[in-house]
């Protein structure tokens, strides 16, 4: 689904913002190794948690994503290089991808808890 930031609204015949998201990323990088000021080597790990919040219409969470990486690093004077071994990312929550069941179909738990007429 393609979304446009600035769009035409058919209901009130105006142009305006279709959506406005606030994106927040929190991350941490860790390094452990051996060496001196001009030469060092070791392992590193990084993780990032990203939030996307719809702040225009509903002020609700749009997505939550988690990504991370583990690998080896080398530093020599002003040169540094990272060699990733494992990396990946996943979407923990996506508001638009959720499958919403119709309200008129009760869940299995609700069916067993509903009183039955025995008249």
pLDDT score of 104 more than 70: no
State pTM to two decimals.
0.60
Q: Cα–Cα distance between 79 and 104 in angstroms, integer?
A: 63
Taking residues 90-110, report their average pLDDT: 63
pLDDT mean across residues, the chain: 79
Taking residues 35-57, report their average pLDDT: 91
Contact partners, residue 81, CB within 8 Å, separation at least 6: 73, 74
Look at phi and psi of residue 78 and say left if phi exceeds 0, alpha if psi is from -120 to 50, else beta: alpha
Contact partners, residue 29, CB within 8 Å, separation at least 6: 44, 45, 46
Q: Are 63 and 97 in contact (CB under 8 A)?
A: no
Taking residues 29-57, report their average pLDDT: 92
Residue 73: predicted pLDDT = 96
């Amino acid at each position: 689904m393609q979304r446009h930031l600035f769009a035409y609204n058919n209901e009130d015949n105006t142009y305006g913002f279709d959506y406005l998201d606030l994106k927040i990323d929190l991350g941490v990088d860790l390094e452990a190794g051996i060496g001196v000021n001009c030469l060092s080597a070791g392992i590193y790990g990084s993780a990032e948690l990203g939030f996307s919040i719809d702040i225009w219409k509903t002020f609700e969470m749009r997505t939550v994503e988690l990504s991370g990486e583990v690998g080896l690093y080398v530093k020599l004077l002003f040169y540094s290089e990272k060699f990733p071994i494992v990396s990946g990312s996943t979407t923990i929550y996506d508001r638009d991808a959720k499958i919403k069941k119709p309200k008129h179909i009760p869940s299995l738990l609700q069916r067993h808890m509903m009183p039955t007429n025995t008249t």
